[in-house]
Amino acid sequence: MGVAVVVSLGGSMLVANRQIQLHRLQSELLQAQSNYAVQIGSLTNVSAPSQIASQAGALHLVDPTSVAQVAATSLERPLPLPQFIGYAPVTSRTSR
């Protein structure tokens, strides 16, 4: 009978230890999910239309004064280079 009590007690201790490990793993999982949600939230805020508009304004990008519709064309032949009206200074991407 004493052996049965020792075996039962040992089994209970193993089950309790496993439950503690599972609880610790669940806590780690919840923390990782929380960190992920915070990162997604911060990235979502950066890509919000208001943030994009303010960054575009800081780069001196403005709303167009007019929009020209591009005519449909066949994709069978290469398109000619576009012709621009007016002057735009060339600025290297690395110096912006």
pLDDT for 96: 55
Q: How far apart are CA 13 and CA 9, in angstroms?
A: 6
* Contact status, residue 79 vs residue 73, Cβ threshold 8 Å: yes
Q: Any idea what DSSP says for residue 28?
A: H
Check residues 94 and 29 and name the one with the higher pLDDT: 29
Of residues 28 and 95, the one with the higher pLDDT is 28
Q: What is the pLDDT of residues 25-34, one digit of tens each?
A: 999 999 999 9
Please list the alpha-helical segments (H only) found in 1-96: 2-46, 49-58
